[in-house]
Structure 1
Amino acid sequence: MSGAHDLVAFKNPVIRWVDERLPVFSMMQKEYGVFPTPRNFNYLWSFGAIAMVMLITMILTGVFLAMSYTPHTSLAFDSVERIMRDVNYGWLLRYMHANGASMFFIAVYIHMFRGLYYGSYKKPRELLWMFGVVIFLLMMATAFMGYTLPWGQMSFWGATVITNLFSALPIVGKYIVSLLWGGFSVDNPTLNRFFALHYLLPFVLFAVVFLHVWALHISGSNNPLGIEPKSEKDTLPFHPYYTMKDGFGVVVFLLIYALFVFYAPNFMGHADNYIKGDPLVTPPHIVPEWYFLPFYAILRSIPDKLMGVLAMGGSIVILFFLPWLDTSKVRSLRFRPIMRWWFWILVVDVIILGYCGANPPEGFWITLGQLATAYYFLHFLVITPLTGKLERPLPQPPSIAQAVLGEKA
């Protein structure tokens, strides 16, 4: 049989019998058992596994919630209340799903900023990074549509504001808005569309995650030093070393997640969403969920509607081109003292954007948001390329083993 020499000789007769006919266990052993990984991973590398656990949690809780949810404008809000009050453990499923979205974004944001700090987007991992940005876009689309489903005040008005943004696009804008609405305003066809897409997109997301992991196993993992493994001393098998380390990280993260679910389930939500959506009553201050706030601040910082939409979209699209915008040959910011400072300024800048997005678009917050938006684009389009050319990096160790073990590789 072709490829039979690649099979692992499992002791369990059932596993061996299945593996001889469908070598899934041999593949798992190769890709997650003996797969060589750099020996110097820190706990920031656990957030990839954490994000995967959260994605699976969101899909499972979403499927069970969909069994009791009614996608109709006159019934959606009451069906969510019924889930909370009458469905067995419905309150738990809903709080797990609602808080799970926030925890998923926390894991992905940390995962992305880790990639920025250690240069995980550089050759040969450009496609790996680009798949990651696609995952982020799919997450944002899925989360936005999911937020509309409870049909509370923030759900309805959030859907109205965000879908109206597409009308700023010349020629095609009004057709996109009409397609999203399914009519002349945000109404029942809109809710049906968003429910269908919210149910579908997580499975598309899972498929892109598969491609992301596949690309990772082709190019190999980056590491805190940003240098490629040169010998067996530089690597460790993924199991048991990183399965245990990732497992510990997942457990700690799930404990924090559980604290929100059981003790502060509405901490990251908005009180107005417990009021049924009413097209005749506009909330005093319409704000999206916290994980959209930096991009919402970029949108509001530009007075022109079209330019604001383009800036908001460009703030994510620019990440696709980061592997080519960064002109430095050194990956890790451990060896780039100047760029390291710019990185932390970017982190503060994103937090400031989030804070501006959470506040009314008036006075000081407009000016601060405009300054933060200007720095965001300046960081990627000017500072990153120029610093890569002008900065003198610190000397790098010749191998991972020498840096970690203090011996020659």
Structure 2
Amino acid sequence: MSRSPSAYSPKTRLGRWIDARMPLPRLVHDSFVSYPVPRNLNYLYTFGGILTLMLGLQILTGVVLAMHYSTNTATAFNSVEKIMRDVNSGWLLRYLHSNGASFFFIAVYIHIFRGLYYGSYKAPRELLWILGCIIYLLMMAAAFMGYVLPWGQMSFWGATVITGFFTAIPLVGEWIQQLLLGGFAVDNPTLNRFFALHYLLPFMIAGVVVLHVWALHVTGQTNPTGIEVKHETDTLPFTPYATVKDAFGAIVFLLVFAYFVFYIPNYLGHPDNYVEADSLKTPAKIVPEWYFLPFYAILRAVTFNIGPIDSKLGGVLAMFGAIAVLFFVPWLDTSKVRSAVYRPWYKVFFWLFAANALFLGWLGAKPADGIYVVLMQISTVIYFAFFLVVMPVLGLVETPRRLPNSITEAVLSSATRKRGSASTQGGNASPQNNEHIV
């Protein structure tokens, strides 16, 4: 998107003095007030702003919680209970933070699927997409580290199982595991390391978010048609049009979030994590948090050796490969059409992929035996086939629908169709209306 000259004009002498030395107000104005955005953005595009809001909430509540948390295996569990009972509004801070992690992932998954549907990863936005994938990786690391901190049964055994996967990596696997654990088992050094990393990672995420937004403002926002901005009539100022829509979307999202915080705060957690960690008592079923379940299912789908690669290493490679493949999406998709709106077959495969991802999440919570293993294997094949087969091949053989000449044409044609549909419905409902129109 071509950037127009800055429209910012300081009104006061102080404003002009600051603008000449550090034009931060100009940067804010050009980026969040006068910045042109496509006029056809829908509410799926509000999740970028929602994610920024949730990141701020997680950092704020996390910093306050850290003031009362004890990084010692003998007192960590009790310090969390003390936060809940004795710290002023501690229960609210804890529930905001724990449920905030889940809603952070809900928003990021919607954001990712929106990008896949509308082709937001295509040139010239490859780096924008890669930065988003890096944010996702850092989020997963921060969430895993944070899940260990309450030092409940699921925290302890989850850390034991997940860090144990690294031993499958030849040569350096055991070294990586010991580096994470600070020893040969999950213990006090592990808790200290995880707390330090969990505290650090959100600030790293914030730094990459700045780069992500910067890259977005350089290349410009995509839109549901996938067509680049061609005329000034294709865009509207960010404020008030996009800001009002973003604010409304955020309010609705936060209302749902508030319902979980105040009415069902433990719904997305695991009951075993409200029992203090005990290295001598293994839970009947060890599962990660819900947002890791699809990848956990992929990990457990590999139950056989693949040549010199044993099943344990194969599962680890499949799990990390399921994340790594996202980085190559801009080059795996060979279609010249960006949006699925104009790609009928891609749209079908996309929704099958989305359903399969949800199914993988369901399977991740099931035991790795019987029919569940077979279903995990089938779903894993479907997951990778979407990226490695459907995207490259479909782009070469699919015949897309005709693209509009501009965003404005798409908006006007959509409005015309809606008016025509309303007129038809009104005419069918009342003959007098038809006579009046004639």
TM-score range, shorter chain: over 0.9
Question: Which of 335, 348, 352 is the matching residue for 1:345?
Answer: 352
- Structure 1's consecutive aligned runs of 4 or more residues displaced over 6 angstroms after TM superposition are none
Opposite residue 270 of structure 1, the aligned amino acid is: H
CA contact (8 A) 1:153 1:283 kept: yes
CA distance in 2 between partners of 1:285 and 1:109 (Å): 26
The aligned residue for residue 183 of structure 1 is: 183
CA distance in 2 between partners of 1:98 and 1:235 (Å): 39
Task: Tell me whether 107-116 or 359-368 shows the greater mean CA deviation.
Answer: 359-368
The aligned residue for residue 42 of structure 1 is: 42
The aligned residue for residue 252 of structure 1 is: 252
The aligned residue for residue 193 of structure 1 is: 193
Displacement of 1:390 in angstroms is: 0.5
Displacement of 1:69 in angstroms is: 0.1
The aligned residue for residue 325 of structure 1 is: 332
CA distance in 2 between partners of 1:405 and 1:341 (Å): 26
Question: Which of 397, 400, 410 is the matching residue for 1:393?
Answer: 400
CA distance in 2 between partners of 1:21 and 1:87 (Å): 44
* Partner SS for 2:214: helix
CA contact (8 A) 1:121 1:128 kept: yes
The aligned residue for residue 96 of structure 2 is: 96
C-alpha change, 1:15 and 1:358, in structure 2 (3 Å) is farther
* Partner SS for 1:178: helix
CA distance in 1 between partners of 2:286 and 2:71 (Å): 23
CA contact (8 A) 1:7 1:20 kept: no
* Partner SS for 2:278: coil
Displacement of 1:13 in angstroms is: 5.5
Displacement of 1:8 in angstroms is: 2.7
CA contact (8 A) 1:7 1:23 kept: no
C-alpha change, 1:103 and 1:379, in structure 2 (3 Å) is same
CA distance in 2 between partners of 1:106 and 1:13 (Å): 46
CA contact (8 A) 2:7 2:34 kept: no
1:133-144 map, 5 Å? 133-144=133-144
* Partner SS for 1:316: helix
Displacement of 1:23 in angstroms is: 1.1
CA contact (8 A) 1:139 1:205 kept: yes
* Partner SS for 2:130: helix
The aligned residue for residue 387 of structure 2 is: 380
CA contact (8 A) 1:346 1:376 kept: yes
Cα displacement string for residues 138-191 of structure 1 (whole angstroms, at most 9, x for unaligned residues): 000000000000000000000000001100000000100010111110000000
The question of 1:362 aligning with 2:369 is answered: yes
Cα RMSD for the two superposed structures: 1.3
The question of 1:111 aligning with 2:118 is answered: no
* Partner SS for 1:37: strand
The aligned residue for residue 343 of structure 2 is: 336
Displacement of 1:9 in angstroms is: 2.3
CA distance in 2 between partners of 1:294 and 1:12 (Å): 55
Displacement of 1:306 in angstroms is: 0.1
CA contact (8 A) 2:6 2:30 kept: no
TM-score by length of structure 2 reads 0.90
Which structure has the bigger radius of gyration? 2
Q: Percent identity?
A: 61
Displacement of 1:268 in angstroms is: 0.3
The question of 1:305 aligning with 2:312 is answered: yes
1:232-251 map, 5 Å? 232-251=232-251
Displacement of 1:275 in angstroms is: 0.1
* Partner SS for 1:50: helix
The aligned residue for residue 66 of structure 2 is: 66
Cα displacement string for residues 342-373 of structure 1 (whole angstroms, at most 9, x for unaligned residues): 00000010011000001111111111111000
C-alpha change, 1:6 and 1:182, in structure 2 (3 Å) is same
Displacement of 1:384 in angstroms is: 1.2
Opposite residue 9 of structure 1, the aligned amino acid is: S
Displacement of 1:288 in angstroms is: 0.4
The aligned residue for residue 11 of structure 1 is: 11
CA contact (8 A) 1:148 1:191 kept: yes
* Partner SS for 1:80: helix
* Partner SS for 2:72: coil
CA contact (8 A) 1:7 1:19 kept: no
C-alpha change, 1:12 and 1:68, in structure 2 (3 Å) is farther
Displacement of 1:104 in angstroms is: 0.3
Displacement of 1:7 in angstroms is: 7.9
The aligned residue for residue 23 of structure 2 is: 23
* Partner SS for 2:37: strand
Displacement of 1:80 in angstroms is: 0.1
CA contact (8 A) 2:163 2:180 kept: yes
* Partner SS for 1:236: strand
Opposite residue 166 of structure 1, the aligned amino acid is: F
CA distance in 1 between partners of 2:267 and 2:14 (Å): 48
CA distance in 2 between partners of 1:279 and 1:259 (Å): 35
Cα displacement string for residues 283-315 of structure 1 (whole angstroms, at most 9, x for unaligned residues): 000000000000000000002000000000000
Cα displacement string for residues 248-272 of structure 1 (whole angstroms, at most 9, x for unaligned residues): 1111111111000000000100000
Is there any run of 5+ residues in structure 1 with no aligned partner, and where? none
Opposite residue 125 of structure 1, the aligned amino acid is: R
CA distance in 2 between partners of 1:320 and 1:359 (Å): 29
Question: Which of 411, 414, 425 is the matching residue for 1:404?
Answer: 411
CA contact (8 A) 2:69 2:80 kept: yes
Cα displacement string for residues 223-274 of structure 1 (whole angstroms, at most 9, x for unaligned residues): 0000001010111111111011101111111111100000000010000000
